[in-house]
Structure 1
Amino acid sequence: MGVSTSSPEKGISVVTVDFPPVNALPVHGWYALADAVRAAGRDPEVRCVVLTAEGRGFNAGVDIKEIQARGQRALLGANSGCAEAFAAVYECEVPVLAAVQGFCLGGGIGLVGNADAIVASEDATFGLPELDRGALGAATHLARLVPQHLMRTLYYTSRTASAAELHAHGSVWRVVPRAELRGAALELAREIAAKDGRLLRLAKAAINGIDPVDVRRSYRFEQGFTFEAAVSGVADRVRSTFGKDVPE
């Protein structure tokens, strides 16, 4: 349980998240993930990082029960932890490939939206149920996965999009049966890792430098409204109904 790092092949580092039952990360989990991704990117022998998760789903976002139990202290911690984890993926010195199975919700969108490439299983679904959770945020990252008007519709309705739909929009590289997900992710990572390591790092910095949106600043702007929802009481009112539709 937690965050672990392995090196299955030369030049490839796999960062795996495992927080049963649904990979809803507590505050310390987001920081641990950020540390693991940054450490992998700093390793001069690593040319590609693969971000994976154990269990039925890739990520169910923040641990709402922790926020309910600890209040604003946990909310602030989750805000900062998510910001660090999302930034770690985006700012990683080498390309980051997300291998997504099952549900990818809330904070999961922040991770994959900031990744360089995505491989998904056929049962993968992507969405932001934030309005059903008394929160806001990660529209910045959903907008990197789908067109603007679809992003808004998904955000306002809390609906999800399938891996096949995202593949059609060009944000998912490949969709495979779940049993083939790890192999497909490593296949793409292997192709990337075959390039010159120094040139890959320059390419990552160059591509980030021409990005039209400052993802860190944009996400922090969104988080201000998350906190406003909390202090106004609307977040607690919505969260009081939370639980019935959480994946088991």
Structure 2
Amino acid sequence: MGQLVSVDRQGAVATLLLDAPPFNAFDTAMRDALAAAVRDIDADPEVRAVVLTGGEEVFAAGADIGALLAMDFVDIVDWNARLQRTFTAVAELPVPVVAAVNGYALGGGLELALCADYRVAGERAAVGLPEVTLGIMPGSGGTQRLTEIVGRSRAKELIMTGRRVRAAEALGLGIVDEVVPGSSTERAHELAAQLAAGPRLAIRAIKQAVDQAAGARDAGLALERSLIAGLFATPDRTTGMRSFLADGPGRARFE
């Protein structure tokens, strides 16, 4: 499978590539590889912008459901806390992060994309938070960051139904900031290069100031961690995940 996550720096722009085909699913190894890559970027003073991508076919299709099904309450408390911290580390990089979203960005994939400062989607991209179909909820920042973007009512609709949103609708909702024909990778690199050429300290200060407007996000993330852990003790979680593994997404019937 290779190194799961790679960092390639060209000049002042680092490309952070999720590289675990076919779905870039998040398991423990993928989570830890991403955390290490983010630390490397943060420690490199030459990096002035980042392109976050899963490649040309899929951004990331969420967590490894088989691995999640094997976890109980105790397991998920630590595992999800580490994943949430890893995604938050992406959001807190002191340089602009541009996500190039191609194909599916679902579940944890969308939660990761929401950590970027700007999201460029290919016209065939689809995004969503389908965790409810597994009897659980987003646990890596999705309830907080999506709500900041689309508002409470729309966030509830999207998360409670778990529906997939195509690129054009995602643009209208503000989930992505730009949609381009074909692949979004070239446009993401173009924008990252433009940002990297700007005044480094001013751009860092702007990012910090704008992100501060989120205000109470830390408390919301803590609540999210607590709630998703509790859901791992429910029969709905077991039903949803077993149904997903046996029959595919969206097939579970909850009592």
Settle same-fold status: TM greater than 0.5: yes
Q: Structure 1 residues 126-135 or 67-76, which shifts more? A: 67-76
Matched, 1:150 2:154: yes
| Gap runs ≥5 in structure 1 | none
CA distance in 2, matches of 1:105, 1:78: 19
* Stretches of 4+ aligned residues off by more than 6 angstroms: none
Matched, 1:162 2:170: no
The answer to whether the Cα contact below 8 Å between 1:82 and 1:107 also exists between their aligned partners in 2 is no
CA distance in 1, matches of 2:56, 2:74: 28
CA distance in 1, matches of 2:173, 2:202: 28
Offset at 1:38?
Answer: 3.3
The answer to whether the Cα contact below 8 Å between 2:146 and 2:175 also exists between their aligned partners in 1 is no
- The corresponding residue for 1:6 is 8
Cα distance change of structure 1 residues 133 and 78 upon mapping to structure 2, 3 Å threshold: farther
Q: TM-score, normalised by structure 1?
A: 0.89
Offset at 1:39?
Answer: 2.4
Query: Partner of 2:51: helix, strand, or coil?
Result: strand
Report 1:110-129 matches (<5 A).
110-129=111-130
How many aligned residue pairs are there?
244
Offset at 1:75?
Answer: 2.8
Report 1:38-117 matches (<5 A).
38-54=39-55, 56-72=57-73, 75-117=76-118
Offset at 1:30?
Answer: 1.5
The answer to whether the Cα contact below 8 Å between 1:24 and 1:59 also exists between their aligned partners in 2 is yes
Q: TM-score, normalised by structure 2?
A: 0.87
CA distance in 1, matches of 2:55, 2:249: 18
CA distance in 2, matches of 1:131, 1:170: 22
- The corresponding residue for 1:225 is 227
Q: Structure 1, residues 202-245: CA drift from partner, whole Å, max 9, x if none?
A: 2222222232342x431231121111111233311222211333
CA distance in 1, matches of 2:42, 2:117: 13
- Percent identity, aligned pairs only, is 33
CA distance in 1, matches of 2:57, 2:70: 25
CA RMSD across the alignment: 2.1
Q: Structure 1, residues 129-187: CA drift from partner, whole Å, max 9, x if none?
A: 111122212221222342322211111111121221122233422211233x2110011
Offset at 1:113?
Answer: 1.6
The answer to whether the Cα contact below 8 Å between 2:13 and 2:49 also exists between their aligned partners in 1 is yes
The answer to whether the Cα contact below 8 Å between 1:18 and 1:55 also exists between their aligned partners in 2 is no
Offset at 1:48?
Answer: 0.7
